[in-house]
C-alpha cells in the first residue's frame, strides 16, 4: 500500500501547495492513502470546516491535529460529525472528536490513523504512550487494520523517538509533527515500522515556523507586546514522508521523504516516481 | 572555502565514525575547515582532554559544546588552554573558556567559530542573540573573518530559525545542534547565510538520541528510578552539513547535508564528490 | 476530629524537629490524626524504611510523598508492605505503592489520606484531578471516610488553588506541599474544606529549601557543575496546618497554621492550646 | 524607617482595598514609604496610567511590575515619564522604563526600589542576580540609599530564597511577588535583610489567583478554549509585609506580615499598631 503523510499545513501558502500538488501526486504515485496534519491550516491557528473540506477534497483521506486543534472554536462542533478529522487521542476524556479513525481506501484497505501529543515542553495531556497502546490494541495491525499511521505531535526528539521504539512492529508509520521542520532521519526501524522525527510543514519556508519573520524574531529580542503573528506570504512548499507497506503485514518496505517547492531541496520517492 | 560541520558526537560510536571517516573526507573533499559539536563525546556526557585531542587529531579545526559542556569536570580546566574548544558564548561571565575562536586554515583563511545556546525549554542562560551580536561585531565577516560558523545549540526550531534570520548576511553558516536529529531544511537564506535547523548527531541512530533505547523509553512509561543511560553500542553514522563559501564575501554559495553510515539515507555534497 | 498536617520533612533537622516535638503536641492537643509529607526525609532525597518507621513511631498516622518519592530505591520495595506510606495517586499504573490509604484513628474514626502531584512546571504525570476524583468517589466523605486529607504536591499556586476548589465540600483539608515555604492563606473554603497553598517544610529555614545555602545560590550564578546539595545543618522548625472537623460531616470547622522553631514566627492553633 | 510593601494588586477588588485602607494605614502606622506591586491592577493584566495615578494617589511611593508589566500597551509610553513606576530591571536593554528608582520620603530619606524577575519556570529574561548586583552597586545601602526594597517577581521558591541570600546585608527587604499567595516565612536573615518569599496579592481571595474560579479550574480539566479570565468580583483583601529599618544602617530591625480583609486571617505589625 502507498501512503503519503504531509506535515503541518500553515495558512494559505500551505493550503495552496496541497490543493495544487496533491491531486497530481495522488494520481502519479497511485497513492492509496493520504494523511495531512492540519492544525495550522486556518491562518496558522487551527482549522475551520471549510478548510477541512478543502483539504479532504484535495485528496486527503484523513487529517490530524495537535496543540492548535481547537484554536478555531467551530472545530469543537464540526469535529463531531467529521470522522476523517482526528485530534490527539490523549486529550482529556470528554473532549469533542476522536483520537483515531479507521479509513477505508478506494481499494478497500483499512488504514488506522492515530493522532497523539507529546508532553515534554508541552501542555499537560494524558499519557501519550497509554493512549497509543489502547489505539493499537483496539485495532491491531495485520488484523483489524491493514496499515496504521501514528502522528506523534511533539517538541522533543527524545519523546518522538521513544514513541517510535514503542510502536515498532505494531504500526506502519510513526511520524512526528509540530516543529515545522522536516527531519532527515526517515528509516525503517528493526521491527518494520517506518519512522521520521518530523514531517516538516507545508507552508512558506522563508519564515519562522511558517509565520512572517519579523515578529517572531522581535519576540526573542524584546519582551514587550508587539504585533500579531501573521502567516508568511510567500509560496508554500510540501513536506512529508512516503511509505510503502507490505499488504500482508502492514509493515513498511520502503520509505522516503517528500519535499517539493521553494526553499527546500526537492526530494521524492524514487521507488514511485 | 569548503566547510564541513558535524553534529553532536555521541560516545564511542560517534567518535569512531569521525576518526574513521573524517581524514578521508577531508582529503577527498579538499576541506578548508571542519567544525564538530563534541558535547556528548565522552560516554554521552561532556568531553575529556584525551577525546578533545582525538577529535582535533582526526581533522577537526574547532570543537563546539552545549548544555553538556562541563559534564566532565576536567573540561573546566583544560578548556582554558585549548583555544580550539568553544563553549556557548552566553554562559555567565566568569565561566572558563571562550564562546568564539578564530581559526586559521591551512590556506591562511580565518574562520570564526561561535557557539551559543538557546533558552526556550532549556536552562536560563544569558541572551543568545546579544552574545552572537557581540561576536559578529567583534570580528565581522568579510573583514576580520573570512568565514563565520555559528553553532546554535537549542531545542526549539523557532529560536533556531530566529537566530538564522538574525545572522542572515553576517555569517557563512548558522547550524543548529542539540536535538540529535538531522533536519532536511538546509538552505541559503536571502542574505547569503547557509542554514540548517539541526546538524543531527554522529552516533548510533538505532537508539534514542544515541543512547541505548530501553532506558529512555522506560523513563517515559514509568516515573521511578531506573538504570543509567548508556550509549547505544551499534556502529555510528556521521551527520552534518557541507557549505561552500565565496572567498570574497564569506557568504554561502552551496550547501548540502552530509549523512554517512548506518540507519541514515546516505547523502553527500554532489558539488564536491 | 483534630488533624495535624506537617509539610516536607527535610533531612535530619526536619526529622529531629518531628521526633522531639510531635509526641508532646499529639498529647497536648489531643490529636486524632497526624499526616506528614516525608519526601525529603532521607538527606533531602526520598525516604528509607528506617526513617519511615521513625516518623510513624513519633506519632504520624500516615506519610505522604511527592516528586522525590523513590529517590531512595528501597522505597520501591518497602512501600508495598507499608500501607501508611502514600505516594502520589497519579503515578502511572503499575507504580509500587498506593495513592490513598484509609487510616483508623485510636477513636475508631476513618481518615482517608490522598497524595497527588501537580503537573504545571513539574514532571508529566497522569491527570491529578481525575486521580483525586477517583479517590474521593471510592471513599466519600461522610460515608466511607470520616475525614479526608488531600496533599497536593505541586509548584504552581494556580494548580493548587484549583485543586482546592475542585475538592471543596468533598474533603476535610486540601493542603499543598513541595515549595518548602509555608503560606499564610489558610482558610475554610465556601463548601467547608480547609485549604492552605503550602504547609511549608519541617527543616532548617536558614537555607534554600532546607539545603545549605551556598550551592543552590551558586547554581543560579554559574552554570558549571559544583558540589552536591547538602541538607542545612542548623536546628529544624516544624511547619504545617491544624484542622478541626465536624465529626458528623467531616468538613472543617477550624483551621490554623502551625509554625514552631527557629527562623519562623511561632504560631499555634489557639483553639487547642 | 517604616516601610510597607503590598503584593500584586489584582483588578478592582485589589485597587479598592488599597484606596480604602492605605490612607488610613499610612497615617496610623506613620509609614515613611509604601511600595506596591501593580502588575495586575488593570483587570488582572498590566497597568494603565489612570490606575497608576490612582495607586500613587492612595499613598504609594513607588509601584513595581512583573511579567504582566506591559499587558496594557499604554504602559510602554507613560512609564517613560512616570519615574515612580518600576519594571523588572532584567528586561532586555532598550525596554521602556527603569528597573530601579530612588524615592525620597517626606522626611527626606532616600529609598531605592528595585524590581527584578526570576527565570525558573518563567520567560527568558536577563540574569536577575546580575541586574540586582548592578542596582545595589550603583546605589549602596547606607551610602546612596537609606533603605532598599527589592521585589523579586518569581515563581520558584528556590530562586526567591537564593535572591534573599544574595542580597542579605545589602538591602532592607527582599520580598517575592507573582504567586499571589502570601507566605508565612517572613524573617530577618543573618545579615540583617528582611525576607518573605511572597507578599501575596491584594484582591479577592475567594478565587484562583484573584480571578473568578470557574475558568481557571476548567482549564486544568479540559484543554479546549473557553471563556476569558475575569477578575473575581468579591471584596478584596490587602496582603504584604511591614518592615522597620535602622535609619543608620538601613537594615531591618522588625518585620511582620500584613493581611487585612476577607478570607485571610488578619495580621498586623504589633510593633506599630
Ligand atoms: Fe504546527
Ligand atoms: Fe503544534
Ligand atoms: Fe547533544
Ligand atoms: Fe545538548
Ligand atoms: Fe519537598
Ligand atoms: Fe517536591
Ligand atoms: Fe501577579
Ligand atoms: Fe506575575
Q: Quick one: pLDDT band at residue A37, thresholds 50, 70, 90?
A: very high
Q: Which of B207, B192, B191, B193 is nearest to B239 (CA)?
A: B207
Task: Give per-residue pLDDT as tens, B172-222.
Answer: 999 999 999 999 999 999 999 999 999 999 999 999 999 999 999 999 999
- Cα–Cα distances (Å) from D2 to A229, D84, D105, D107, D127, in that order, read 47, 18, 11, 11, 30
- Best mutation target, B67, B124, B161, B260, to test chain A (most A CBs within 10 A): B161
Residue A114 β-bridge partners: A100, A150
How many residues can be counted in chain A? Answer: 273
Q: Residue B265 CB: number of other CB atoms within 10 A?
A: 15
Going from the Cα of C66 to the center of ligand 6, the distance in angstroms, rounded, reads 5
What is the count of residue pairs from B and C with beta carbons less than 8 Å apart?
36
Q: Residue B153 CB: number of other CB atoms within 10 A?
A: 30
Phi, psi of D171 (to 5 degrees): -135, 160
Q: Residue D159 CB: number of other CB atoms within 10 A?
A: 26
Q: Which of C28, C37, C73, C70 is nearest to C55 (CA)?
A: C37
B114/B89 Cα distance (integer angstroms):
7
Going from the Cα of B155 to the center of ligand 3, the distance in angstroms, rounded, reads 10
Contact assignment for C119 to A120 by CB distance below 8 Å = no
Contact assignment for A126 to C124 by CB distance below 8 Å = no
Task: Give per-residue pLDDT as tens, D38-76.
Answer: 999 999 999 999 999 999 999 999 999 999 999 999 999
- Cα–Cα distances (Å) from A25 to A175, A264, C193, in that order, read 20, 18, 62
Whole-model pTM: value is: 0.98
At a CB cut-off of 8 Å and minimum separation 6, what does B188 contact?
A: B194, B195, B252, B253, B255
- Residue of D68, D170, D186, D259 with catalytic role: D68
Query: What is the sign, positive or negative, of the torsion defined by CA atoms of C28, C33, C37, C43?
Result: positive
Please tell me the predicted confidence (pLDDT) of residue B273: 87
Task: Give per-residue pLDDT as tens, D222-258.
Answer: 999 999 999 999 999 999 999 999 999 999 999 999 9
C111/C131 Cα distance (integer angstroms):
18
In angstroms, how far is CA B54 from the centroid of its own chain? 16
- Is residue A90 part of an annotated ligand binding site? no
Please tell me the predicted confidence (pLDDT) of residue A39: 98
In a domain, A43, yes or no: yes
3-state secondary structure D5-38: EECCECHHHHHHHHHHHHHHHHHHCCCCEEEEEC
Q: Residue A169 CB: number of other CB atoms within 10 A?
A: 12
Question: CA angle, B232 as apex, B226 and B233 as ends, to 5°?
Answer: 125
- Is residue C215 part of an annotated ligand binding site? no
* D186: nearest CB among C156, C166, C265: C265
Q: Quick one: pLDDT band at residue A26, thresholds 50, 70, 90?
A: very high
A244/A71 Cα distance (integer angstroms):
33
At a CB cut-off of 8 Å and minimum separation 6, what does C81 contact?
A: none
Average pLDDT, chain D: 98
Q: Least CA distance to C127: which residue of chain A?
A: A126
Question: CA angle, D150 as apex, D148 and D155 as ends, to 5°?
Answer: 170
In a domain, D272, yes or no: no
Please tell me the predicted confidence (pLDDT) of residue D69: 98
Please tell me the predicted confidence (pLDDT) of residue C57: 98
Query: Under a CB-based contact definition with an 8 Å cutoff, are residues B153 and B117 in contact?
Result: yes
Cell of C146: 470520616
In a domain, B169, yes or no: yes
Contact assignment for A223 to D73 by CB distance below 8 Å = no
Q: Residue B266 CB: number of other CB atoms within 10 A?
A: 11
Q: What's the CATH code of the domain at A137? A: 3.60.21.10
**Chain D residues with beta carbon closer than 8 angstroms to that of C200:** 184-185
DSSP string, chain A: -EEEEE--B-HHHHHHHHHHHHHHHHHHTT-SEEEEE-TTTTTTS---HHHHHHHHHTT-SEEE--TTTTSSTTHHHHTTT-TTEE--TTSPTT-SS-SEEEEEPTTS-EEEEEEEE--TTS---S-HHHHHHHHHHHS-BTTTBSEEEEEEE-S-HHHHHHHHHHHTTT-SEEEEESS-SBBS--EE-TTS-EEES-B--BB-SSSBTTB-SHHHHHHHH--S--PPP-B--SPPBEEEEEEEE-TTT--EEEEEEEEESTTS--B--TTT-
- Give catalytic status of residue D68 as yes or no: yes
- Is residue B67 part of an annotated ligand binding site? yes
In a domain, A268, yes or no: no
B101/D123 Cα distance (integer angstroms):
30
Please tell me the predicted confidence (pLDDT) of residue D273: 87
ipTM of the complex: 0.98
How many residues can be counted in chain B? Answer: 273
Interface of D with C in 130-159 (CB under 8 A): 155-159
Q: Which of B65, B63, B59 is nearest to B32 (CA)?
A: B59
In a domain, A179, yes or no: yes
**Chain D residues with beta carbon closer than 8 angstroms to that of C180:** 157
Please tell me the predicted confidence (pLDDT) of residue B149: 98
Residues in chain B with pLDDT values less than 50:
none
State the total domains in chain D.
1
C193/C167 Cα distance (integer angstroms):
7
In a domain, A270, yes or no: no
* D126: nearest CB among B93, B120, B127: B127
C207 reaches D (C-beta below 8 A): yes
Strand, helix or coil for residue C214 = helix
Please tell me the predicted confidence (pLDDT) of residue A70: 98
Q: Half-sphere exposure of residue B54, counting CA atoms within 13 Å on the CB side?
A: 18
C60/C52 Cα distance (integer angstroms):
10
Task: Give per-residue pLDDT as tens, C27-85.
Answer: 999 999 999 999 999 999 999 999 999 999 999 999 999 999 999 999 999 999 999 99
Task: Give per-residue pLDDT as tens, B96-124.
Answer: 999 999 999 999 999 999 999 999 999 99
Average pLDDT, chain C: 98
In a domain, A266, yes or no: no
Q: Label the pairing between strands A110-117 and C100-104.
A: unpaired
**Chain D residues with beta carbon closer than 8 angstroms to that of C179:** 157, 197
At a CB cut-off of 8 Å and minimum separation 6, what does B231 contact?
A: B10, B11, B12, B13, B43, B44, B203, B204, B210, B211, B212
In a domain, D37, yes or no: yes
Task: Give per-residue pLDDT as tens, A85-137.
Answer: 999 999 999 999 999 999 999 999 999 999 999 999 999 999 999 999 999 99
Q: List the domain range (segments joined by +) for residue D177.
A: 2-260
Please tell me the predicted confidence (pLDDT) of residue D147: 98
Q: Residue A227 CB: number of other CB atoms within 10 A?
A: 10
The percentage of residues in chain D with a pLDDT greater than 90, rounded to a whole number, is 100
The percentage of residues in chain C with a pLDDT greater than 90, rounded to a whole number, is 100
**Chain D residues with beta carbon closer than 8 angstroms to that of A76:** 224-225
Q: Half-sphere exposure of residue A181, counting CA atoms within 13 Å on the CB side?
A: 32
Amino acid at each position: 500500500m502507498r501512503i503519503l503523510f504531509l506535515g503541518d499545513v500553515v495558512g494559505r501558502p500551505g493550503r495552496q501547495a496541497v490543493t495544487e500538488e496533491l491531486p497530481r501526486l495522488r494520481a502519479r504515485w497511485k497513492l492509496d492513502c493520504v494523511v495531512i496534519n492540519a492544525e495550522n491550516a486556518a491562518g496558522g491557528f487551527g482549522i475551520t470546516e471549510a478548510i477541512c473540506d478543502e483539504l479532504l477534497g484535495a485528496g486527503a483521506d484523513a487529517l490530524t491535529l495537535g496543540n492548535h486543534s481547537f484554536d478555531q472554536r467551530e472545530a469543537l462542533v464540526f469535529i463531531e460529525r467529521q470522522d476523517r478529522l482526528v485530534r490527539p487521542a490523549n486529550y482529556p476524556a470528554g473532549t469533542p472528536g476522536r483520537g483515531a479513525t479507521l479509513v477505508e481506501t478506494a481499494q478497500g484497505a483499512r488504514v488506522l490513523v492515530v493522532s497523539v501529543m507529546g508532553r515534554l515542553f508541552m501542555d499537560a495531556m494524558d499519557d501519550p504512550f497509554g493512549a497509543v497502546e489502547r489505539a493499537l490494541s483496539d485495532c491491531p495491525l495485520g488484523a483489524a487494520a491493514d496499515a496504521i499511521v501514528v502522528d506523534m505531535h511533539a517538541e522533543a526528539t527524545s519523546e518522538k523517538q521513544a514513541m517510535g521504539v514503542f510502536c515498532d512492529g505494531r504500526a506502519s508509520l510513526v511520524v512526528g509533527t509540530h516543529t515545522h521542520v522536516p527531519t532527515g532521519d526517515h528509516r525503517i526501524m528493526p521491527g518494520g515500522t517506518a519512522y521520521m522525527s518530523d514531517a516538516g510543514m507545508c507552508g512558506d519556508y522563508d519564515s519562522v515556523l511558517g509565520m512572517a519573520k519579523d515578529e517572531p524574531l522581535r519576540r526573542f529580542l524584546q519582551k514587550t507586546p508587539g504585533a500579531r503573528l501573521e502567516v508568511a506570504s510567500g509560496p508554500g512548499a510540501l513536506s512529508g514522508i512516503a511509505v510503502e507497506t507490505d499488504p500482508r503485514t502492514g509493515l513498511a518496505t520502503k520509505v522516503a521523504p517528500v519535499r517539493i517547492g521553494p526553499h527546500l531541496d526537492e526530494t521524492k520517492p524514487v521507488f514511485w516516481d
